[in-house]
Amino acid sequence: MTRAISLHDVSKSYTRGTRVVDRLTLDIEPGEFLVLLGPSGCGKSTVLRMIAGLEEIDEGELLLDGEWANDLLPADRRIAMVFQNFALYPSMTSRDNIGFPLRIEAPGEDPRTRVDATARMLGIEDLLDRFPAQLSGGERQRVAMGRAIARHPSAFLMDEPLSNLDAKLRNHLRAEISGLTRKLGVTTVYVTHDQAEAMSLGDRVAVLRGGVLQQVGTPRSVYSLPRNVFVAAFIGIPRINLLRGVVRAPLDGAMTISLGKQYLRLPEPLCLDHQLLRVQQGREVIVGLRSEAVRIAKPAGARPGEVHITGLVEHVEFQGHEVLVHFNTGSRPAVVPDLEAPRPAPPVRRRRRDSGSVLERLRNRAGALRAGPVVALEHPADDAHDPAPPEGRLPGDLIVRTTPDFDLRHGMHVPLLVDLAHLFVFDQHGDRICPAPARLPDLEE
Residues 70 and 196 in one domain: yes
pLDDT band at residue 370 using 50, 70 and 90 as cut-offs:
very low
Three-state SS for 224?
A: helix
The residue among 189, 224, 259 that closes a domain is 224
Closest CA to 111 of 125, 122, 96, 123: 96
* Range with top average pLDDT, 29-38, 338-347, 353-362: 29-38
What pLDDT is attached to residue 182? 87
pLDDT band at 1 (very low <50, low <70, confident <90, very high): low
Would you give the end-to-end CA distance of the chain in angstroms?
Answer: 40
SS3 content of the chain, % helix, strand, coil (to 5): 30, 30, 45
Q: What is the pLDDT of residue 356?
A: 52
Domain shared by 202 and 302, yes or no? no
What confidence score (pLDDT) does residue 167 get? 76
**Do 11 and 142 have their domain in common?**
yes
Instruction: Give the other-Cβ count within 10 Å of 311's Cβ.
Output: 24
| Same domain for 245 and 220 | no
Residue 443 located in a structural domain: no
103 and 196: one domain? yes
pLDDT at 393: 54
Q: Can you tell me the distance from the alpha carbon of 279 to that of 255, in angstroms, rounded to the nearest whole number?
A: 12
Domain CATH for 179: 3.40.50.300
Domain's final residue, options 224, 259, 289? 224
Q: How far apart are CA 139 and CA 131, in angstroms?
A: 11
Specify the pLDDT at position 311: 95
**Does residue 318 belong to any structural domain of this protein?**
yes
Q: What is the pLDDT of residue 84?
A: 81
pLDDT for residue 348 is more than 70? no
pLDDT band at 367 (very low <50, low <70, confident <90, very high): very low
In this structure, the answer to whether residues 260 and 206 fall within a common structural domain is no
Instruction: For residues 336 and 334, give the distance between their C-alpha atoms in angstroms, rounded to a whole number.
Output: 7
Residues 257 and 351 in one domain: yes
| Boundaries of domain holding 188 | 5-224
Lowest mean pLDDT among 24-38, 223-237, 353-367: 353-367
- The C-alpha angle with vertex 386 and arms to 309 and 427, in degrees rounded to 5, equals 55
The verdict on 159 and 253 lying in the same domain is no
Confidence of residue 272 (pLDDT cuts 50, 70, 90): confident
| Residue 388 domain flag | no
Does 254 share its domain with 115?
A: no
Task: Please give the Cα distance from 11 to 211 (Å, whole number).
Answer: 8
Work out the angle between the directed axes of helices 167-184 and 137-149 (0-180°, nearest 10).
Answer: 10
Last residue of a domain, one of 171, 199, 224: 224
Based on the domain organization, do 158 and 244 belong to the same domain? no
Residues 116 and 178 in one domain: yes
Q: Structural domain tally of the chain?
A: 2
pLDDT at 439: 58
Residue 387 lies in a domain: no
Considering the domain architecture, whether residues 275 and 169 belong to the same structural domain is answered as no
Residue 230 domain-assigned (yes or no): no
d(CA 323, CA 437): 33
Residue 18: is it exposed, middle or buried by C-beta count within 10 angstroms (0-12/13-18/19+)?
Answer: exposed
**pLDDT at 303 exceeding the cut of 90:** yes
Rounded mean pLDDT of 137-144? 87
Among 203-207, 310-314, 361-365, 437-441, which is the least confidently predicted range? 361-365
CA distance 347 to 77: 31
Q: Which of helix, strand or coil describes residue 120?
A: helix
A 10 A CB-CB count for 391 gives: 5
Whether the bond into 299 is cis, omega within 30 of 0: no
**Poorest-pLDDT segment among 314-318, 368-372, 412-416:** 368-372
Helices 137-149 & 94-105, crossing angle to 10 degrees? Answer: 20
Mean pLDDT of the chain: 84
Number of neighbours of residue 44 by Cβ within 10 angstroms: 26
Q: For 220-234, how does the pLDDT look when each residue is reduced to its tens digit (9 = 90+)?
A: 999 999 999 999 999
pLDDT at 269: 87
The reply to whether 232 falls in a domain is no
CA–CA separation, 346 vs 332, rounded Å?
29
Asked if residue 110 belongs to a domain, the reply is yes
Contact of 36 with 206, CB cutoff 8 Å: yes
What is the pTM assigned to this prediction? 0.82
pLDDT at 442: 52
The answer to the question of residue 94 being in a domain is yes
| Interstrand relation of 155-159 and 187-192 (parallel, antiparallel or unpaired) | parallel
- State how far the Cα of 139 lies from the Cα of 137, in Å rounded to an integer: 5
pLDDT tens-place string over residues 396-442: 899 999 999 888 999 999 999 999 999 999 998 899 999 987 655 55
